[in-house]
Structure 1
Amino acid sequence: MYHSWLDRWDERRARRGEEGKKTTDFILDADRAFPGAGKIASIEEFCALADQAVANPAFFDEPSDSDQHFERKEGWLKFPSDIATEIAANNVVWAKITESGSFDQAMVIFHHWNASARNSQIANFFSRRGITVAEIAMPYHFERSRPGSVHADYMLSPNLGRTIQSIRQAVLDGRKLIRWLKKEGYREISVVGMSLGSWVAGLIAARDQAVSKASLFLTAGSLADMVWTGRATRLIRDSLEPEIELSDLRRAWGPLNLENYAHSLARPDLDLHVVLAKRDKVVLPALSKGFMQRLKHAGARPHILELNCGHYSLGMPPYILSAGLSLKRFLSCAGKPALRS
């Protein structure tokens, strides 16, 4: 009875999330995703470039001419993004820094798609326990929002190239913040990602040796499959489905598929923590399970917490309390947890 009510609550929350959204055109826009690609007219050509990006270990690396101008004032850090878009506000990265008074550990949080506010409760909880928290604004969110937009439609959309550009921008921004934290003297860096933010955190953890712990909430491997099957992305699928097969979308968004970096996520000096929702209609449990199996086959030993709730109801008691305590234990422990089946 309770779980039926919980499912209905999640559905009502999903409907509220659809307010103001609309279908937009399917566009390849390859030059955004792969600078210098020029005019690409076919899905096959786009997919060939995506295959090259997956094989390129430098695709998510910071450029050599990165602008290192950081401004810090009253708990905020501001710096230029290394990817320039036509939205001026999006080209400046903002992060809320909640200090702990210790340089032992810092945690960078990547929020979910269309987040409306940062979470001061989480930041204060961990800062009181000796972990400095940096809550970064992902592209087209918070201070970086596109003027006139009611949601972050430029970060995840049926524009294949812009979606890759936006996720790549989020990764480069996050890595730049991590460089700053290391220069400030923080010894251990953790990344935490929520839903879409888990893809960003996962890509960073796979590529950045400075990250020693990664916690992925409501995650899976294939972003293409999540968008195609998820409750929150129906309008994006409506635009994609007449134009592209799911198999081609998987290839086109291959650079964003965490399964393609499973061996990097299984590196010996990275600890993984995953929180999943058994009743999730946004990131389907089957997709999450497949990703966990891929990680284990690659040699990773993730600590997995599965809760009997939905995507949105994870934010409700008692589930959020269980997830928070699990994250606290993970960040506090040393070494890799035992492999779970």
Structure 2
Amino acid sequence: MYHSWLDRWDEQRARRGEEGKKTTDFVLDAERAFPRAKKMASIEEFCVLADQAVADPAFFDEPSGSDQGFERKDGWLKFPSDISTDIEANNLVWAKITESGSFDQAMVIFHHWNARARNRQIANFFSLLGVTVVEIAMPYHFERSRPGSTHADYMLSPNLGRTIQSVRQAVWDGRKLIRWLKSEGYREISVLGMSLGSWVAGLVAARDSAVSKASLFLAAGSLADMVWTGRATRSIRASLEPEIGLADLRQAWGPLDLENYAHSLARPDLDLHVVLAKRDKVVLPELSERFMQRLKDAGANPNILALNCGHYSLAIPPYILLVGLSLKRFLS
């Protein structure tokens, strides 16, 4: 009875999240995704560049010498993104800092897709435990929102190139922030990602040795599979399906697939913590289980908490309390 109610609650929350989402045009836009790419007309050409990006260990490495422009005031940090887009507001990164009074540990939080507000409760809780919390705005979210948009439709969309550019921008922004935290004297850096934010946090952790702990909430490996099967991305699939199949989408978005970086996430100096929802309709459990197996096959030993709730109901008691306690033990 309780779980039937929980499933209905999640479905109602999903329906509210559909408000304002519309089908839009399928676009390759390779020149946004890949440096020096030329305008192209075929998905086959796009996939060749995607394969090259997966094989390129520097694809998520931000430019050297880009540590200028940080401004800190009244608990906020802002700095220019090293990827310039045609949305001016998106080119300035904002982060909310909740100080702990200690330089032992800082945790960077990447929120879920279409987040409306930062999580003051999480920030305050962990700051009291001695962890400085930095909540970064991902591309097209919060202060970086596209004027006139009802959700972050440029972060994840049927525009294949812009989606790769947006996630790559989020990774570059996160790594730039981590360099700043290290320069400020923080000794241990952790990342926490929620849903879409877990893809960003996972890519940051896979590519940045400064990260010693990564916690991924509601995570899977293949972003293509999540979009194709997930409850929250039906409008994107409706735009994609007449133009591209799932197999091609997996290859096109291969640079964003965490399974392709399993061996990097399994490095011995990185601790992994994963929170999964057994009744998740947004990130299907079978996708998460496949990712966990890929990590284990690569030699990782993730600390996994699997709760019998849905994607959205993870945020309500008692589940959120269990998550908080598990994350507390992981960080300490």
Please state which band the TM-score falls in when normalised by the shorter chain: over 0.9
Name the counterpart of 1:180: 180
What's the offset of the Cα at 1:41? 1.1
Structure 2 partner of 1:274? 274
1:305 is aligned to 305
**Contact 1:24 1:239 survives alignment (8 Å):** yes
Percent sequence identity is 86
Listed one character per residue, the Cα deviations across residues 212-239 of structure 1 (whole Å, up to 9, x for unaligned) are 0000000000000000000000000000
CA contact (8 A) 1:67 1:82 kept: no
Which letter does structure 2 place at the counterpart of 1:230? G
Q: Quote the Cα distance in structure 1 between the aligned partners of 2:75 and 2:136.
A: 12
For the Cα contact (< 8 Å) 2:171–2:204, is it kept in 1? yes
For 2:196, the equivalent position in structure 1 comes to 196
Deviations 1:112-148 (A, max 9, x none): 0000000011000000000000000000000000000
Task: Provide the TM-score with structure 1 as the length reference.
Answer: 0.97
1:95-244 alignment to 2 at 5 Å? 95-244=95-244
CA distance in 1 between partners of 2:65 and 2:257 (Å): 27
Contact preservation (8 Å) 1:108, 1:135: yes
2:53 corresponds to 1:87: no
Shift of 1:64: 2.3
Give the letter for the 2:229 counterpart. Answer: T
How far does residue 68 in structure 1 lie from its aligned partner after superposition? 1.7
Q: What are the superposed Cα offsets for residues 186-245 of structure 1, whole Å, 9 maximum, x if unpaired? A: 000000000000000000000000000000000000000000000000000000001001
Aligned counterpart, 2:55: 55
Q: Which runs of 4+ in 1 moved over 3 A?
A: none
Alignment gaps of 5+ in structure 2: none
Which amino acid in structure 1 is aligned with residue 146 of structure 2? R
3-state SS in 1 of match to 2:203: helix
- Contact 1:273–1:304 under 8 Å retained in 2: yes
Number of equivalenced pairs? 332
Q: Which amino acid aligns with 1:223?
A: L
Structure 1 residue 39 displacement after superposition:
1.2
Distance 1:2 1:285 in 2: 20
> CA 1:67–1:106 in structure 2 vs 1: closer, same or farther (change >3 Å)?
closer
Q: Which amino acid aligns with 2:29?
A: D
**Cα distance in 2 for residues equivalent to 1:68 and 1:269:** 29
Distance across 2 between alignment mates of 1:67 and 1:251: 33
In structure 1, give the amino acid aligned to 2:126.
F
CA offset digits 1:251-302 (Å, max 9, x no partner) = 0000000000000000000000000000000000000000000000000000
CA contact (8 A) 1:80 1:91 kept: yes
Give me the whole-angstrom Cα distance separating, in 2, the residues matched to 1:110 and 1:118: 10
Q: Check conservation: 2:106, 2:133, Cα contact below 8 A.
A: yes
Which whole-Å deviations, capped at 9, do the CAs of 1:65-95 have from their partners, x for residues lacking one? 4252100000000000000000000000000
- The DSSP-based 3-state class of the residue aligned with 1:50 is helix
Matches within 5 A, 1:25-44: 25-44=25-44
Work out whether residues 67 and 180 of structure 2, in 8 Å CA contact, stay in contact via their aligned partners in 1. Answer: no
TM-score (norm 2): 0.99
Q: Which amino acid aligns with 1:219?
A: A
The aligned counterpart of 2:11 is 11
Q: Using the alignment, how far apart are the partners of 2:73 and 2:40 within structure 1?
A: 44
1:73 alignment counterpart: 73
Whole-angstrom distance in 1 between the partners of 2:219 and 2:238 = 22
Q: How far does residue 35 in structure 1 lie from its aligned partner after superposition?
A: 2.1
